[in-house]
Amino acid sequence: MRFAFGFCLAALLAPILQAGPYDPVWSEVAPRRVIPYTGSDGEGLVKAVAALQPGDRLEIAAGTYRVERLWDIRVSGTAEAPVWIVAAEGAQVVITRSDDRQNVVNVGQAGPVSYLCLRGLEITGGSHGLRLGQCEEVWIDQCHIHNNGGPNLTANSADTRKLYLTRNHLHHGGGHGEGMYLGGNNASVIMSESIIALNHVHDCGGSQGDGIEVKQGSWGNLIAENHVHDTRYPCITVYGTNGRAVNVIERNLCYRSGDHTMQVQGEAIVRNNLLISAAGSGFASTDHQGKTTRLEVIHNTIINTGHAFSGGSWNGREGMVLANNLIYSRDANALHFANGSEGVKITGNVLFGSGDKRGQAKGRGLAEDLPGLAWDASSRDATPAANAPFLVADEAFHLPTDFAGKPRTGPISGAVAP
């Protein structure tokens, strides 16, 4: 897929894909045994998976495999001998079922699973597409999960740790409709120390339809370089960590939400994101299942016809920073603090719109300052115009690289360097 940036996603991410910074440390461990699966039915595939031992790599031949019963993958490897369940090279492997009475694939529902990789599988139909239970060191990579009766991918039935959810394509979930539903309400289930990166998530509807949702109490996670758009609820929603290590949300491209483009309760670092076009606010933050606290929003580009930035619960809260952002509203407030902003560090921002004027510079308008961007996200090149008034960033919050990983050579505000 080609962005309207004028370059393709593959070209943008090529250095990242080669270096693999989001992959588990065991990602390059060679299998001890490669097992081709050339059967034609889903029941045979279930049995082949159940027989895997540490170090095995099951390579599945092209075909559509229907599994008409509850399928819970329970095989585990070790750090020295992971288990791999992958599509054979060049093969389209479709796993499905004929109704939505069960999820298509479960992992670790009946007991712990670790050091397992699922790669290159297409999972469609059923209830949830892929549901992760008692999982640690589980890698879901390059899978296509779509048109499910419930959310596409969930990890909301048991605590999980060190999940790697990378380079997947998720869309058109049903029910609540999330692309990814990670953790449980009110910290009933916690995901920790996990990586959600390089995924393409879109057309999330149903009754809610967040693109990527990380629930209250989940901590120490990295949500990076995802492309999320056309969602009913926010493209990315992240709650708080209940005092544990903060979540990091960086270099995501999010646009066209029927709610807020991005919503973060607190206890997070939000940096170098490009957020465009929402029915609500471009970026929103308020108390929800916990209190807003320890939230740093740095070097983002936030563009919206309505409110651009809304901090409904920032007043008098600990560790609140809004620095070095481009915050543009066409018809409403650039900054909207409905309940005040006492104690908030506000510095290095460029503002365009009504309301609070505490910016280091005043923007001139989208056409003048960011000619490659459109209010409706029909074009998404956030490169500043040569004479844009953006050289106002506070060096105390300076990030050395931008949205695309390019070095910043000066105190330029926003997500994208010239």
The pLDDT tens digits of the residues spanning 348-399 come to 999 999 988 888 899 999 999 999 999 999 999 999 999 999 999 999 999 9
Is 347 within the bounds of a domain? yes
- Answer yes or no: is 224 within a domain: no
The two three-digit tokens of residue 385, written as one number: 């115009």
Is pLDDT above 80 for 96? yes
Provide the sign of the torsion angle of the four alpha carbons 311, 256, 180, 118, taken in this order: negative
Distance between CA atoms of residues 318 and 305, nearest Å: 30
Between the CA of residue 177 and those of 154, 181, 212, 229, 259, what are the distances in Å? Answer: 11, 9, 11, 14, 14
CA–CA separation, 397 vs 168, rounded Å? Answer: 32
* Domain range for 258: 251-418
d(CA 281, CA 258) in angstroms, rounded, equals 10
Residue 25: inside a domain: no
Residue 261 maps to a domain:
yes
Would 415 be classed as within a structural domain? yes
| Residue 381, domain member (yes or no) | yes
Give the mean model confidence (pLDDT) for residues 192-217: 97
pTM: 0.94
At a CB cut-off of 8 Å and minimum separation 6, what does 81 contact?
29, 32, 54, 55, 115
Task: Inform me whether the pLDDT recorded for 8 exceeds 80.
Answer: no
Mean pLDDT (whole number) for 339-356: 95
Q: Which residue has the tokens 């989208």?
A: 366
* Domain assignment of residue 11, yes or no: no
Run of H or E residues at 44: helix 42-50
Residue 386's pLDDT is 94
- Measured CA distances, 86 to 284, 314, 322 (Å): 39, 46, 43
Q: Supply 404's token pair.
A: 């695309």
pLDDT at 6: 29
CA dihedral 28, 31, 32, 37 (to 10 degrees): 180
Read off the pLDDT of residues 56-81 as tens digits, 9 standing for 90 and up: 999 999 999 999 999 999 999 999 99
Residue 340 lies in a domain: yes
Supply the DSSP string of 140-164, one letter for each residue: EES-EEES-SS-SEEE-SS-EEEEE
How many separate domains does the chain show? 1
